[in-house]
């Protein structure tokens, strides 16, 4: 550790922070230190960061064009080699380039589902928990109904109705993802609702909207975020499953699940076409699983098990 680092470290770990900012940063730093101890979680973080970097620099990393066919006479279904790290598919496209570009689609699906489903879950859960009574009963019944379908099946039905395509797949997955977040947010809200500080804010005349958005939601946020991170592997697998069934991204988009489906016809003779995109899905969802497990261990010691 360099000399310049030491005072900053002491400042962060100080027992008597002089400002709120120092306390908060110190808390974050301590969480990071605990997280860093967990090797598997760090591997997960590494994989997720790698995914983000690959998605950003896909154009620079991919040696070939992901959509345009190569020479159909000579470059069709070529096994993995130094020219084509993962071989080529039946359209003579470089599979490695397609996998690299596919990371953008995967990242987009995960990010959009999280952005759509988390606020819905938070809104429904905190509202139900805070108001209680009939509001609670009605909102939670609706949540239960969505939980009553297996997730992939409900997503399938929605995509069937909306029509195949990556946007509709994202909407369908988001619609099926929010109920567990709502349940979690409600449970958290129930423990927060009757605390003294909420009563104090209420006595100051704060509106319900203000209490929920300013004081209840921030307290539920961390556990919901952990849950969303743990869910991301599931989101990726559902999206890949929809793609595999031909209901997600449409050809020639390099979506990993759809690529596996396309490689299925050549499985017995040209194994790499279906295998390579599967390795990508597996690695990324493993990364999110490891990251989520690590986050839960650090931020929510109760959930360990």
Partner 1 sequence: MSLTTNDPGGRSSAPSRFLWKVTKLLATLAMTFFGLLLVTFLIGRIVPVDPVLAVVGDRASQSVYDKAFIELGLDKPLYEQFWIYLQKVMTGDFGQSFLTKKDISEDILRVFPATVELATVGILIGTILGIPIGILAAVKQGKLADQMVRVLGLIGYSAPIFWLGLLALLVFYAKLGWVAGPGRIDIAYEYSVTQKTGLLLIDSAMQGQWDAFRNVFSHIILPASLLGYFSMAYISRMTRSFMLNELAQEYITTARVKGVPEWRIIWVHALRNAAVPLVTVVALSYAGLLEGSVLTETVFAWPGLGQYLTNSLQNADMNAVLGGTLVIGVIFVGLNLLSDVLYTLLDPRVRRRG
Binding site for partner 1 (CB under 8 A): 141-142, 144-146, 148-154, 156-163, 233, 237, 240-241, 244-247, 257, 260, 264, 267-268, 271, 274-275, 278, 281-282, 285-286, 289-290, 305
Return the number of other C-beta atoms located less than 10 Å from residue 140's C-beta. Answer: 19
Q: Residue 229 CB, nearest distance to partner 1 (Å)? A: 13
Q: Is 204 helix (H, G, I), strand (E, B) or coil?
A: coil
Nearer to partner 1, 185 or 273 (CB): 273
Nearer CB in complex with partner 1: 150/214: 150
Residue 223 or 289 having the CB closest to partner 1: 289
Which letter does DSSP use for residue 88 in this model? B
Q: If we measure between CA atoms, which residue out of 2, 109, 6 comes closest to residue 51?
A: 109
Residue-wise burial string across 179-194, b where 16 or more C-beta atoms lie within 10 A, e elsewhere = bbbbbbbbebbeebbe
Closer Cβ to partner 1, 71 or 269, answer by number: 269
Least Cβ distance, residue 164 to partner 1 (angstroms): 9
Helix, strand, coil % over all residues of the chain, rounded to 5: 75, 0, 25
Of how many residues is the chain composed? 305
The residue (of 48 and 211) whose beta carbon lies closer to partner 1 is 48
Q: What is the DSSP letter of 247?
A: S
Provide the minimum distance between the beta carbon of 271 and partner 1 in the complex, in angstroms, as a whole number. Answer: 6
Least separation in angstroms between residue 205's CB and partner 1 is 38
164 within 8 A of 251, measured Cβ to Cβ: no
Integer distance in angstroms from the first to the last C-alpha of the chain? 35
In angstroms, give the least distance from the CB of 240 to partner 1.
5
């Amino acid at each position: 550790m360099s000399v310049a680092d030491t005072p900053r470290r002491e400042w962060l770990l100080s027992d008597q922070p002089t400002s709120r900012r120092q306390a908060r940063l110190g808390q974050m730093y301590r969480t990071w230190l605990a997280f860093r101890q967990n090797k598997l979680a760090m591997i997960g973080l590494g994989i997720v960061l790698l995914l983000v970097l690959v998605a950003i620099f896909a154009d620079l990393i991919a040696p070939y064009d992901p959509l345009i066919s190569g020479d159909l006479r000579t470059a069709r279904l070529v096994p993995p080699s130094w020219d084509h790290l993962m071989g080529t598919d039946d359209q003579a496209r470089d599979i490695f380039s397609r996998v690299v570009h596919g990371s953008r689609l995967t990242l987009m699906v995960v990010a959009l589902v999280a952005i759509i489903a988390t606020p819905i879950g938070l809104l429904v859960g905190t509202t139900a928990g805070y108001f209680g009574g009939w509001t609670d009963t009605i909102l939670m019944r609706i949540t239960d109904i969505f939980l009553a379908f297996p997730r992939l099946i409900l997503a399938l039905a929605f995509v069937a109705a909306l029509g195949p395509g990556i946007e509709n797949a994202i909407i369908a997955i988001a619609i099926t993802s929010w109920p567990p977040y709502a349940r979690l947010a409600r449970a958290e809200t129930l423990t927060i609702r009757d605390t003294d500080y909420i009563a104090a804010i209420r006595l100051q005349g704060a509106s319900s909207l203000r209490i929920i958005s300013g004081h209840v939601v921030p307290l539920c946020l961390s556990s919901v975020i952990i849950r969303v991170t743990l869910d991301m592997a599931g989101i990726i697998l559902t999206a890949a499953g929809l793609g595999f069934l031909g209901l997600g991204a449409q050809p020639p988009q390099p979506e990993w699940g759809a690529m596996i489906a396309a490689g299925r016809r050549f499985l017995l003779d040209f194994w790499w076409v279906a295998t390579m995109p599967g390795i990508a899905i597996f690695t990324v969802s493993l990364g999110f699983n490891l990251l989520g497990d690590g986050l839960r261990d650090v931020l929510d010691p109760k959930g360990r098990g």
